Amino acid sequence: MKEHYPFLNTPLPYGFDALEPYIDAQTMELHHNRHLQTYIENLNAALRQQPRLQTLSLAELLAIAPTLPEPLATTVAHNAGGVYNHQFYFNGLAAPGNTPGSGPTGQLADAIIQQYGSVAQMLEQLAQTAAGVFGSGYAWLVLQPGGGLAIVATADQETPLTLGFCPVLAVDVWEHAYYLKHYNKRADYLADWQQVINWSQAAQNYAGCLDAKVCQTDGCRYIYRS
């Protein structure tokens, strides 16, 4: 079923304390109940008087946003991006007990090893990109439209979707994602984040990207149905 207006802040698929000791419960609660909540409220408020936008999914809103008049275009891009990115990040986390020293398996593992040599080397590059984000944003492992994985950074609440990429794995490096526990030490947070990656979700995301890819004579792109 396609999620659309009014968007709801559904509970996390794990407890706020599930990621301890790597990501603390207070950070998770504030991040979900206040930061994500604010994006959801602002997005719903922006769509309240826009009936033709109310049946669109987040991916569809992000795709159509540049064609809207200002200030609606910017409001929709920022807030649909904020909801999309946070839901993607939160769903990509799992209790450390669920992933004891584990990593990706199957097609995703093969693709990472083929491209980066090992999972550890991919995570090292991802952490370097994440450490290099100036100010607020995210680092992502994505699939490129032409095929092959890539590591990219996005600023603020820009999403990889609008850049033509299909996201597999994301890390939120806004300070609110780590400041209470890790203070200004983003590198420490990035190391801890690696302990709570939901690799089965990443594998599902990868498979979903392969399914979403549509190629025509002028090239390939990802079409999201939800």
> Which residue from 84, 90, 140, 174 is in contact with Mn ion, where contact means CB under 5 A?
174
Quote the CA–CA distance of 207 and 201 in Å, as a whole number. Answer: 10
**Contacting range for Mn ion; rule: CB under 5 A; set: 17-25, 108-116, 153-161, 169-177:** 169-177
Cis amide prior to 21 (ω within 30 degrees)? yes
Give how far Cα 221 sits from Cα of 100, 115, 143, 144, 212, Å. Answer: 35, 20, 10, 9, 8
| Total residues binding Mn ion (CB under 5 A) | 2
**Contacting range for Mn ion; rule: CB under 5 A; set: 59-67, 72-80, 101-109, 164-172:** 164-172
How far does the chain reach from its first CA to its final CA, in angstroms? 7
* Shortest spacing between CB 113 and Mn ion, in angstroms: 30
* Shortest spacing between CB 35 and Mn ion, in angstroms: 5
Nearer to Mn ion among residue 174 and residue 199 (C-beta): 174
Nearest of 58, 54, 19 to residue 172 by alpha carbon: 19
Nearer to Mn ion among residue 120 and residue 183 (C-beta): 183
* Shortest spacing between CB 139 and Mn ion, in angstroms: 13
88 binds Mn ion (CB under 5 A): no
**Residues in CB range of 131: below 8 A, 6 or more apart:** 186, 187, 190
> Tokens at residue 98, please?
């669920």
* Shortest spacing between CB 211 and Mn ion, in angstroms: 27
* Shortest spacing between CB 172 and Mn ion, in angstroms: 4
> Which residue from 172, 202, 209, 222 is in contact with Mn ion, where contact means CB under 5 A?
172
> Tokens at residue 115, please?
């491209």
Chain residues that interact with Mn ion, rule: CB under 5 A: 172, 174
